[in-house]
Structure 1
Amino acid sequence: MSVLAKAPARLLNAAALNVHTARLPATSLSPSSLYLRRAAPLATRAFSSNKDRPDTSSPDTTQNTSSSSDSSSSSPGKPLGKVSGIVNSILHGSGSLPKVQMQSQESWGVSLARGKYVHELQRHRIRPERFDDYVQLLSEAFPRMVKESNNKMRLTGSWLTEIGELDTAGKFHIWEFEGYTGHAREMDRLRRDPAYQKFLKELRPMLLSRDNQICLEFAFWESRPPVALGGIYEMRTYLLKPGNLLEWETNWRRGLECRRQFCEPVGAWFSQLGKLNYVHHMWNYPDLETRKKTREQAWKVDGWAETVYNTVRLIENMEANILLPMDFSSLK
């Protein structure tokens, strides 16, 4: 009897083993027992299904239904229908991948993004002893950069960390450009600008590190224009598990309607260049007590608990920073 001809019997024995091991905790089983415990029910179901309902996928199988049990044992080289497929998959792995219809990452960007602007999120981690120098330098340089660009690059906002990584003062700076073309044009201009090069030369010794991301706005969440809102800002940052951006957006688009009954969002972005799979969204509150009450109220709205449940499992890491706008910030 061939190896494959014996396979159904071994799988039935594995199913019996699965009955005995079902009551044992997983930690007490060997890796091979755990594998059989998971694989046996699938294989035995397929075997039973094949036994009760013959495979009619080909003329040969249909013609030989009445003698399938005899021919399977006497003809080792003959296919065993669905059973051999399952057994072969368990022993050797599947020979082909299932055809799954998916949107490409590029098309996700098109469908999720507002499409009008590109935003650059900058993070500066400064040396604590250079805090005052840093604030003074940026207060002079950033407004000048906006003015000299003829408003082709706009400063959405600059914030200092109030609660979070305190040594990352000036943690968030958000710049807005007219698409990738506008970003490339302005970066080229700044590289040739002596005043900007002087600014970088003075800035670098003040920093421990800096990084940036090129982000797009979510289509359902347009960023606030320059306005003085007062109070505090909360920047929430999520690192998503790869491949979950579309599902996150679908759930958050619904959940936003629950939250905005109590406060208006400031903006939301997802990263396209730099560190990937990041989502950022920003809120404004008069104070921390109002923030607390607002978040509690959202739980009373139908749909919010479902949004949280559906999105938490998509997240690898998350953080929330309370920020205060710098004096020259467009959003205050």
Structure 2
Amino acid sequence: MLSRIASNAVRRSGPTTTSMHGAQRTISVQSLLYGSPEAKEASDVEVQQHSKLVARGKYVHGFEIHKVKPDQVEEYKKAAEKYYTGLRDDPELDVKLTGNWEAIVGEQDTFYHVLEYENYAGFDKAWKKLQNSEHTRAFQALRPCLTSRTSQLTQEFAFLPTAPPHEEGGIFELRTYQLVPGKLLEWEQTWRRGIEARRKFVEPVGAWFSQVGRLHQVHHLWQYRDLHARKEMREQAWQVDGWADTVGKTARLAKYMDSIVLTPLPFSPLK
């Protein structure tokens, strides 16, 4: 399974660096957007302009978050496996599973599912085919287990496309940042410079920003052997030039941050 995901990652991968011309254009646009009081009042149009600059554009990832009744967790896991593997195995849908996880630190009895679509047209196609299908009926088995559910459509940052972990096992950390509106481009530039410090010790699995649903959110996904290894790697990153600056700027750009520790479900492609 991991080898198939790796081949998908190779298929999706592309240049992750920006040409000199592209870098100059990005810096120029950034100075334009943030150079006047009027520009600082970010509108939805500006957010979309930022998205064109920072996104890969080819894929859309759907984040589905389910909060489950504590006494029905095991029943939910069985129903979720049937539903999500059914989506994965249906060639007419062309939906890929990125990963499926249960929170072990953070809000308990909460499950995260990330699906990949061929851009918005792929999502539209899948959504239409799901209506009144066997998958809809399979989803009904989930509903009695849930206390709430939310969904969000995101895109990958161009500099950090989704990739499989380099080894199996361990834990995943999903870090979610609620940005100050209008700061997405500045966030991307900050992390583009700072990510190399972290990459010396751990390779990120992926990074996305929201486009539909809860807006102005950024998600980063990391994998560690365990929480002790996470602590050591984060401490080592602080010794590398550039990481402290990235963290400092991150704090100023975000309204709040969440760190959720996840364990993969048995059918998750990423584990």
TM-score range, shorter chain: 0.7 to 0.9
What TM-score comes out, normalization by structure 1 length?
Answer: 0.67
Q: Distance in 1 between matches of 2:92 and 2:84?
A: 13
1:140 and 2:72 equivalent? no
Aligned to 2:183: 244
Aligned to 2:73: 131
Report deviation, 1:243.
1.0
1:175 equivalent among 115, 127, 135: 115
1:278 equivalent among 217, 234, 253: 217
What aligned pairs does 1:1-332 form with structure 2 within 5 A after superposition? Answer: 104-149=46-91, 152-168=94-110, 170=111, 172-193=112-133, 195-225=134-164, 229-332=168-271
Q: Distance in 1 between matches of 2:173 and 2:149?
A: 20
Could you tell me the percent identity over the aligned residues? Answer: 44
Report deviation, 1:144.
1.6
1:310 counterpart SS class:
helix
Report deviation, 1:198.
1.3
Q: Deviations over 1:109-134 (max 9, x none)?
A: 11110111000001000101110110
Q: Deviations over 1:284-305 (max 9, x none)?
A: 0011111000000000000001
What TM-score comes out, normalization by structure 2 length?
Answer: 0.82
Q: Distance in 1 between matches of 2:80 and 2:135?
A: 11
Gaps of 5+ in 2: 1-35
Q: Distance in 2 between matches of 1:119 and 1:259?
A: 24
Q: Deviations over 1:7-64 (max 9, x none)?
A: xxxxxxxxxxxxxxxxxxxxxxxxxxxxxxxxxxxxxxxxxxxxxxxxxxxxxxxxxx
Q: Deviations over 1:235-256 (max 9, x none)?
A: 0001011111111111011110
For the aligned residue pairs, the C-alpha RMSD in angstroms reads 1.9
Query: Are residues 280 and 114 of structure 1, via their aligned partners in 2, closer, same or farther at CA, if it must alter by over 3 Å?
Result: same
Query: Are residues 329 and 151 of structure 1, via their aligned partners in 2, closer, same or farther at CA, if it must alter by over 3 Å?
Result: farther
Q: Is the contact between residue 165 and residue 223 of structure 2 (CA under 8 Å) also seen in structure 1?
A: no
1:174 counterpart SS class:
strand
Q: Is the contact between residue 61 and residue 114 of structure 2 (CA under 8 Å) also seen in structure 1?
A: yes
Q: Distance in 2 between matches of 1:229 and 1:239?
A: 30
Q: Distance in 2 between matches of 1:106 and 1:281?
A: 20
Q: Is the radius of gyration larger for structure 1 or structure 2?
A: 1
Q: Distance in 2 between matches of 1:227 and 1:160?
A: 21
Aligned to 1:85: none
